[in-house]
Amino acid sequence: PGTVEGARRGGGVNAGRHDRHPMTVTLGELAVRFGCELRGDPSTPIDSVAALSQAGPRSVSFLANPKYVDHLKDTRAGAVILDAKSAPSSPVASLIVANPHATYARMATLLHPDPPLNPGVHATASIAADAHIDPSAEIGAHVCIGAGVRIGARCYIGPGTVIERGAVIGDDARFVAKAFIGRFVKFGARCIVQPGAVIGGDGFGFAPEKRTWVKVPQVGSVSIGDDVEIGANTTIDRGALDDTVIEEGVKIDNLIMIAHNVRIGAHSAIAAQSAIAGSSVIGKRCIMGGRSGLTGHITLCDNVVVLGTSFISHNITKP
| DSSP 3-state of 131 | coil
d(CA 68, CA 258) in angstroms, rounded, equals: 35
Phi-psi region of 118 (alpha: psi -120 to 50; beta: other; left: phi over 0): beta
d(CA 115, CA 181) in angstroms, rounded, equals: 24
Residue type (1 letter), 102: A
| DSSP 3-state of 87 | helix
CB atoms within 10 A of CB 277: 18
* Adjacent-strand bridge partners of 282: 264, 300
Contacts of 291 (CB under 8 A, 6+ apart): 271, 272, 273, 274, 308, 309
Give yes or no for a contact between 44 and 64, defined as CB atoms under 8 angstroms apart: no
Question: Which own/partner pairs from 263-267 qualify as long-range (CB within 8 Å, at least 24 positions apart)?
Answer: 265/302, 266/225
Give the single-character DSSP code of 89: G
Q: Which of 122, 260, 267, 314 is catalytic?
A: 260
Residue type (1 letter), 242: D
- State yes or no: is 260 an active-site residue: yes
- Catalytic site positions: 260
